[in-house]
Amino acid sequence: AERYNARESEIHWQREWDEEAIFASKNDDPRPKYYVLEMFPYPSGRIHMGHVRNYTMGDVLARFKRAKGYNVLHPMGWDAFGLPAENAAIERKVAPKAWTYDNIAAMKKQLKSIGLSLDWAREFATCDPSYYKHQQKMFLDMLAAGLAEREKRKLNWDPVDMTVLANEQVIDGRGWRSGAVVEQREMSQWVFKITKYSQELLEALDGLDRWPDKVRLMQRNWIGRSEGLLIRFALDPATTPAGESELRIFTTRPDTLFGAKFMAISADHPLAVAAAAKNPKLAEFVADIKKIGTAQSIIDTAEKQGFDTGIKAVHPFDPSWKLPVYVANFVLMEYGTGAIFGCPAHDQRDLDFVNKYNLGNVPVVCPEGQDPKTFVITDTAYDGDGRMINSRFLDGMTIEAAKEEVAKRLEAELRGNAPVGERQVNFRLRDWGISRQRYWGCPIPVIHCPTCDVVPVPDDQLPVTLPEDVSFDRPGNALDHHPTWKHVNCPKCGAKAVRETDTMDTFVDSSWYFARFTDPWNKDAPTTPDIANRMMPVDQYIGGVEHAILHLLYSRFFTRAMKATGHIDMSEPFAGMFTQGMVVHETYQKADGAWVTPAEVRIEVDGNGRRAVLLATGEDVAIGSIEKMSKSKKNTVDPDDIIASYGADVARWFMLSDSPPDRDVIWSEEGVRGAKRFVERVWRIVQTFVQTRGQPLYTEKSGLTDSEQALALRRITHKRLARITEDIERLSFNTAVAQIYDFVGVLRTVVDPEKVAGPLSFAAVNEAVIVLVKIISPMMPHLAEECWNALGQPGLVSEADWPQIERDLLVEDSVTLVVQVNGKKRGDVTVPRAAQNADIEAAVLALDAVKAALGGKPVRKVIVVPMRIVNVVG
Ligand code: ANZ
Ligand code: ZN
């Protein structure tokens, strides 16, 4: 048999699929729809192995569902706005637009070489004015609906990229792209009112039962709902700046009030500002800690610091109990009221704080089984369950009961006309700031007029397109520096006005692209609601867990905003979500520490294990840890190289075969070679069958079950088929692959004339081979087409139906029963499923173990529990 020529075959079938446009999905297709979507790529220039894995998984599902008779929507596009295009413009003097579209062209070619069953007719890039026009329209709709607003805020300013970042884009106090330490600046910006949906976004997570639990948990934590009590502490007038009389705090632990040791307020709290005005030392301290910023992550890791303002707060249950008020660096102005009472025994931050300033602690919750008299807290706060101690009227209560008691008492107590305590629900989720001071993004379609203030750009002037004659010779926003672009007349009064030069966060672009794919041809509106309502939600979304919070949460919000503004009639965009693992690889390092790429080394395996040798010089290189493929460690493998030397099917197969899809997969040369051998093996089976199927080896009889042997093969075929079908359905690709390996192992002997003893049923073998080709088709579609063609089957296997499972053949033909003698297990017996009780009895009594257990005693009774147990009573 001739060797399989992957290269030729892949190019051939890709062209065939393209010409026939077989992966185009029609919106008026009457069959049930199935929408498969992988997170669309950023056009960085090249596809990487992570893409290959992600898209292969989606492709297997798309091809499978197509074969199962669905109208499959499987589109692809480009998340094309963003900073790298501007950086390229600065570094290489290429226009962001040209750079982006060049990259798209290159990556599209690469994607095509993977053989993905994509509907390219729906392709768009988010930087196409025909896309962002609609995004601008939706922004204006949201503005009218009160879902977009202009807001003055303290913002995270990235001094290197010269832009504002969302909190989510600040990682450990640094910009997520530049790595620069982020500063805080007060600025006006546009926000989307995601907090209007805090409760709904939280509750609806319960219904997303085809999402990973960990992703739902991350979203829950991000939304961060807390039930607690707002308490108004009176301030001691003798110690307090004029005009201030109380301090409002938010606590989730009102039960711990009798363990309070201090109060703490944010550096931005009005009371801190008032106190600092009179105290230069305090003013200095405030200025100092403001520099660190207010990102949660910094606050969590920075050393706790405070400054005693001298102000005293009065304990709500004891007028003679005075608590010192500190300005502290771990209290955020943006959460709750920007002020807390500190209970060190039961909160680690508070404990770290009092230990630093020698304020002491009093435990007020005692764990069950502990003696309250000996229960002390030193370095570790206790945040577990227990009973109240040292807490006057709360003593002996559970935490829950104590919370309730405190809430009741403080709600009932009035100061002025207002209750001292008030139950409150707080969310951590903040509104989504979308303004970015960047050129390469979707322009925010408003005009600032000195008399009319903010004026929306009229619909008939959309899109507000980006100018192309921009210069990047100074840092900051090129739109702002453009000589003419921003200068316009006010659409309302005609006076001289300026355009908004901020562009939208690129997360806006990716918050609705999935809806656009349902009708990307609509020139007049973002969606055609009829069609969007029919084709949405995405049935299976696949992407990296790094998007578990931001992108997925924004998309869930945006879909609700689209619903509120009439562009779609549903709230949840993704019915099923799957987060795939990463592609990882060994690292290689020369003696001088320089990293070398896998392509530069050869792996040698001998008695001493594995060695890596540098191809160029023959010198040994050290094999380092297995890590995520990255440019910095040079442990990347180029998909183009793999496809050129092994073919796309091998890359696809290996990606699917080696680990569960949600775990990391270790890319290895050895593994890839194994996949290559498997491709050859499948090809040989089909070749052998094609060459021998006319021979007398095969019986004349054409019935499928006319011999024991035929029946046995058919059982194997259908059992495998059933398992593989189930596995693909639940995205368990690696186990499906294992089943296919097994099945191929069986077929290898069946089609080999030298290994077969008797005559074969042509029909049964033919069925098995056709099933094989169909079930490998989602994973190795080119090989499958080539086999299909060799078998002389009509049409394309990519368009063929999934094989029918014959359920009758799945039923086991024998059963195994446990054998007991006088109630004690002595062994088991396997009998034909249809065996009569008398036959079972005979078989059981013939067992040596049974004879031995009876020890010669006569059998009194044999009880057969059908399909399960035989009990011999002696
Ligand atoms: C007293 C107390 C005692 C607290 C105790 C906790 C444990 P979550 O669950 O996240 O809502 N807090 C409130 N506002 C804060 C702010 N702006 N900056 C920093 N911390 C703040 O957390 C609520 C708890 O976080 C509140 O309950 C408050 O400390 C603190 F044993 O009050 B607690
Ligand atoms: Zn005006």
Q: How many residues does the chain have?
A: 874
Helix orientation angle between 781-790 and 6-20, rounded to the nearest 10 degrees = 90
List the structure tokens of 703.
């019935």
CB-based burial of residue 614 (10 Å sphere; 0-12 exposed, 13-18 middle, 19+ buried)?
middle
Q: Tokens 């090809």 map to which residue?
A: 683
Mutate to test the pocket of ligand 1, among 167, 225, 249, 250 (most ligand atoms within 8 A of CB): 250
Confidence of residue 298 (pLDDT cuts 50, 70, 90): low
**Looking at 134-148, 229-243, 283-297, 672-686, which range is the least confident one?**
283-297
**496 CA from centroid of ligand 2 (Å):** 8
In this predicted structure, what is the pLDDT of residue 708?
A: 75
User: Which residue lies with its CA nearest to atom 26 of ligand 1?
Assistant: 251
Ligand nearest to C-alpha 490: 2
In this predicted structure, what is the pLDDT of residue 757?
A: 62
757-794 pLDDT, tens digit per residue, is 666 788 889 999 999 999 999 999 999 999 999 999 99
Q: Coil, strand or helix: which one is 823? A: coil
In sequence order, the β-bridge partners of residue 306 are: 328
Cα 99 from Cα 43, distance rounded (Å): 9
**330 CA from centroid of ligand 1 (Å):** 10
Residue ranges of alpha helices (H) inside 543-589 are 550-564
CA distances from 273 to 283, 298, 310, 324 (A): 8, 22, 14, 17
Confidence of residue 299 (pLDDT cuts 50, 70, 90): low
Distinct helix (H) and strand (E) counts, the chain: 26, 37
Q: Check pLDDT > 90 for residue 271.
A: yes
Sorted by sequence, the CB contacts under 8 Å of residue 664 that are 6+ apart come out as: 581, 582, 583, 584, 628
Helix orientation angle between 639-646 and 648-657, rounded to the nearest 10 degrees = 110
Q: What is the mean pLDDT of residues 450-460?
A: 97
**859 CA from centroid of ligand 1 (Å):** 75
386-423 pLDDT, tens digit per residue, is 999 999 999 999 999 999 999 999 999 999 999 999 99
Q: Using CA atoms in the order 82, 88, 94, 99, what is the torsion angle rounded to 10 degrees?
A: -50
Q: Which atom of ligand 1 is nearest to the CA of 381?
A: 31
Degrees to nearest 5, angle at CA 259 with 254 and 260: 80
Mutate to test the pocket of ligand 1, among 198, 231, 253 (most ligand atoms within 8 A of CB): 253
Sorted by sequence, the CB contacts under 8 Å of residue 811 that are 6+ apart come out as: 833
Q: What is the CA radius of gyration of the chain?
A: 35
User: Which residue lies with its CA nearest to atom 32 of ligand 1?
Assistant: 251
Q: Check pLDDT > 70 for residue 859.
A: yes
List the structure tokens of 38.
């992988």
How large is the ipTM? 0.95
Mutate to test the pocket of ligand 1, among 251, 261, 298 (most ligand atoms within 8 A of CB): 251
Backbone conformation region of residue 379, classed left if phi is above 0, alpha if psi is from -120 to 50, else beta: alpha
Q: Check pLDDT > 90 for residue 675.
A: yes
Q: What is the mean pLDDT of residues 151-173?
A: 82
**251 CA from centroid of ligand 1 (Å):** 5
Q: What is the mean pLDDT of residues 283-291?
A: 86
Write out the DSSP string of 469-489: ----SSSS-HHHH-SSTTEEE
**561 CA from centroid of ligand 2 (Å):** 28
**349 CA from centroid of ligand 1 (Å):** 10
In this predicted structure, what is the pLDDT of residue 182?
A: 87
Query: Considering the chain, what percentage of its residues have pLDDT values greater than 90?
Result: 77
User: Which residue lies with its CA nearest to atom 12 of ligand 1?
Assistant: 340
691-727 pLDDT, tens digit per residue, is 888 777 676 554 555 577 788 889 999 999 999 999 9
Q: Tokens 């008399």 map to which residue?
A: 451
**483 CA from centroid of ligand 1 (Å):** 50
Ligand nearest to C-alpha 494: 2
Calculate the CA 722 to chain-centre distance: 29
Mutate to test the pocket of ligand 1, among 347, 365, 383 (most ligand atoms within 8 A of CB): 347
Name residues contacting ligand 1 (CB within 6 A).
226, 250-253, 256, 330-332, 335-336, 338, 340-341, 343, 346-347, 426
In this predicted structure, what is the pLDDT of residue 762?
A: 84
**194 CA from centroid of ligand 1 (Å):** 23
In this predicted structure, what is the pLDDT of residue 750?
A: 85
The pairing of beta strand 33-38 with beta strand 71-73: parallel
SS3 of 449-466: the string is ECCCEEEECCHHHCCCCC
Q: Coil, strand or helix: which one is 281? A: helix
Query: Considering the chain, what percentage of its residues have pLDDT values greater than 70?
Result: 97
Cα 419 from Cα 413, distance rounded (Å): 5
Ligand nearest to C-alpha 259: 1
Sorted by sequence, the CB contacts under 8 Å of residue 736 that are 6+ apart come out as: 656, 723, 724, 727, 728, 779
List the structure tokens of 679.
């491709």
In sequence order, the β-bridge partners of residue 435 are: 504
User: Which residue lies with its CA nearest to atom 27 of ligand 1?
Assistant: 251
Cα 434 from Cα 625, distance rounded (Å): 39
Ligand nearest to C-alpha 268: 1
Mean model confidence pLDDT for the chain: 93
Q: Check pLDDT > 60 for residue 193.
A: yes
Ligand nearest to C-alpha 353: 1
**331 CA from centroid of ligand 1 (Å):** 9
In this predicted structure, what is the pLDDT of residue 293?
A: 57
Residue ranges of alpha helices (H) inside 706-827 are 708-729, 733-750, 762-776, 781-790
Nearest to 485 by CA among 507, 456, 465: 465
Q: Which residues of 258-293 are buried (b: 16+ CB within 10 A; e: fewer)?
A: bbbbbbbbbbbbebbebbbeebeebbebbeebbebb
Ligand nearest to C-alpha 349: 1
Sorted by sequence, the CB contacts under 8 Å of residue 777 that are 6+ apart come out as: 63, 67, 784, 785, 788, 797, 798, 800
Q: What is the mean pLDDT of residues 462-476?
A: 92
User: Which residue lies with its CA nearest to atom 19 of ligand 1?
Assistant: 331
Q: 761 or 73: which carries more pLDDT confidence? A: 73
Cα 241 from Cα 870, distance rounded (Å): 89
Q: Check pLDDT > 60 for residue 294.
A: no
Q: Which atom of ligand 1 is nearest to the CA of 338?
A: 17
Mutate to test the pocket of ligand 1, among 226, 230, 252 (most ligand atoms within 8 A of CB): 252
User: Which residue lies with its CA nearest to atom 9 of ligand 1?
Assistant: 226
Ligand nearest to C-alpha 267: 1
**Looking at 101-110, 344-353, 468-477, 802-811, which range is the least confident one?**
468-477
In this predicted structure, what is the pLDDT of residue 24?
A: 96
Cα 719 from Cα 723, distance rounded (Å): 6
Residue 109 annotated as binding site: no
**454 CA from centroid of ligand 2 (Å):** 8
In this predicted structure, what is the pLDDT of residue 425?
A: 96
Nearest to 723 by CA among 798, 833, 650, 803: 803
CB 168 within 8 A of CB 550: yes
Cα 176 from Cα 212, distance rounded (Å): 25
In this predicted structure, what is the pLDDT of residue 572?
A: 98
Mutate to test the pocket of ligand 1, among 220, 340, 388, 391 (most ligand atoms within 8 A of CB): 340
**492 CA from centroid of ligand 2 (Å):** 5
In this predicted structure, what is the pLDDT of residue 452?
A: 97
Cα 37 from Cα 59, distance rounded (Å): 9
**164 CA from centroid of ligand 1 (Å):** 28
User: Which residue lies with its CA nearest to atom 31 of ligand 1?
Assistant: 346
In sequence order, the β-bridge partners of residue 250 are: 230
User: Which residue lies with its CA nearest to atom 28 of ligand 1?
Assistant: 251
Calculate the CA 621 to chain-centre distance: 36
Nearest to 258 by CA among 450, 405, 158, 106: 405
User: Which residue lies with its CA nearest to atom 8 of ligand 1?
Assistant: 226
Cα 593 from Cα 605, distance rounded (Å): 23
Q: Which atom of ligand 1 is nearest to the CA of 342?
A: 1
Q: Which residues of 664-696 are buried (b: 16+ CB within 10 A; e: fewer)?
A: bbebbbebbeebbebbeebbbbbbbbbebbeee
Nearest to 391 by CA among 412, 409, 378: 409
Nearest to 253 by CA among 154, 358, 384: 384
Q: What is the mean pLDDT of residues 139-160?
A: 93
